[in-house]
Copies of this chain bind each other. A is one copy, B any other.
Amino acid sequence: MAKLLEGIKVLDFTNNVAGPATAVALADYGAEVIHIEKPVWGDDCRNYIPMADGISAMHMMINRSKKSMVMDLKDSDAIAVLKRMVADTDVIVESFRPGVMDRLGLGYEELSEINPRLIYCSISAFGQKGPYATRAGYDVIAQAFSGFIYYTGGESGTPTKICGAIGDYSSALNAYGQIMTALYYRERTGRGQHIDVSLARTLLWMNAYFDHIYTGEPRPRSGNHDYTLSPYGVFERSPEEYLVIGAVNVSTWKKLCEAMERPDLVTDPRYLTNDARVHHDDEVIAIIEDWLRSLPSVDEAARILDEAGVPNCKLNTMTDILEDPHVVENGWVTDIPPCTGVTSIPAAKAVVGLADFSGGEPVVGGAEALGESSVEILTKYGLSPEEAQKLEQRWSGK
């Protein structure tokens, strides 16, 4: 089947999570991605634990299907080669602090003169403009800025950081979509452009609930249930066992009551509508948790609810996910080739491709060692094998 982005050439000047994840989404659909990495260390993702045989799992996952090239961007020879490369590049993705690429001579204004069709996506914590533009930031900073940490928190009321890197990954989804928007627009107009994506704005877009404007009341911390829907949340059987249940409309609430062998609740005016249940949410939660405790396990509760057609899900661990029949049958987690030098595991794991397309399928590739493609790319852009070798040694720090 077709590769949807066949022929698209990407220069990936990114580091850490949001940028590499954007570029890997392009690589998954067949774009040729050249990852420009810093001397000696390369992408910071190469240094994250866990590792297999000294190679980072994160690197194997997030830099799959890319070519690795090492360059010292403070060396004018590197800038000269890059300017030749830009002439036939479709997309640049960069995640330096605002202003850095300009100072290196690799800013959008300068490169778009070489190639007006160039699409140039900058990803940063706070965006390219405004008072915080030059502040450094991490995923957790954007989580705090956008309200996610303040409003996430369990019964105790403590603000809670979200696991993983939702700011990085949602910004990668966003940057991917905006790059595709610009590629589409270029097909129609011939023109490239600069795109300014930030973690802070992306997470704000995902959390734009300004209740106080409408009601004068502040939005409450979310807890493990919901202040607008009931039953909807994480129900506890024991401190080790939970089940998520959502049954907010008339028909699923009825199914839930019947599954709990409590048909009396269906017509009880306290629980007749979602709004009524929200007002009596403590009682609704107690009824459901008592029912869970009356059963031998949450697995048994899940079985009963599945049969009754009530939306529910246990709290999967990553081990559960790899064994889940739906994940396995759909191939959502793919074995990818491990890096050279990794012998202790047969394959690395990644979620390759973000969706299924009827007319295209993703590429399953591995990640390269630092600078593995440097010489090949340098010679392709006009250097002799000797010059290429010399520059590669200078830039890799070998």
Which residues of A are interface residues toward B (Cβ below 8 A)? 2, 4-5, 25, 29, 48-52, 57-58, 61, 108, 125-132, 135-138, 140-156, 158-166, 169-170, 173-178, 180-185, 187-189, 191, 193-198, 200-202, 204-215, 217-219, 221-226, 228, 232-234, 239, 242, 244, 246, 248, 252, 306, 309, 311-322, 324-327, 329-330, 332-333, 345, 348-351, 354-360
| Set of chain B residues within 8 Å of A125, measured between Cβ atoms | 311
Q: How far is the CB of A250 from chain B (nearest CB, A)?
A: 12
**A357 and B327 form a contact (CB under 8 A):** no
**B332 and A201 form a contact (CB under 8 A):** yes
**B57 and A210 form a contact (CB under 8 A):** yes
Partner of A181, one of B29, B57, B322: B29
Partner of A360, one of B173, B185, B206: B185
Q: How far is the CB of A125 from chain B (nearest CB, A)?
A: 8
**Known A-B contacts A129-B330, A232-B138, A316-B147; A57 and B195 likewise in contact (beta carbons under 8 Å):** no
**A204 and B155 form a contact (CB under 8 A):** no
Partner of A244, one of B141, B169, B206: B141
**A131 and B329 form a contact (CB under 8 A):** yes
| Set of chain B residues within 8 Å of A155, measured between Cβ atoms | 158
**Of residues A51, A185, A187, which shows the largest number of chain B Cβ atoms within 10 Å of its Cβ?**
A185
**A312 and B141 form a contact (CB under 8 A):** yes
In the complex, 20 of the A-B residue pairs with CB atoms within 8 angstroms, ordered by the A residue number, are: A50-B215, A50-B217, A58-B209, A108-B358, A126-B326, A149-B234, A150-B316, A151-B163, A152-B162, A153-B163, A159-B234, A170-B170, A184-B187, A187-B187, A194-B357, A201-B351, A201-B355, A211-B318, A214-B345, A218-B317
For the complex of A and B, list the 7 residue pairs with the smallest distance between their C-beta atoms, beginning with the closest. A177-B177, A180-B180, A151-B163, A163-B222, A169-B206, A187-B187, A193-B359
**B325 and A131 form a contact (CB under 8 A):** yes
**A357 and B178 form a contact (CB under 8 A):** yes
**B163 and A152 form a contact (CB under 8 A):** yes
**Residue of chain B at shortest CB distance from A135:** B311
**Of residues A202, A221, A351, which shows the largest number of chain B Cβ atoms within 10 Å of its Cβ?**
A351
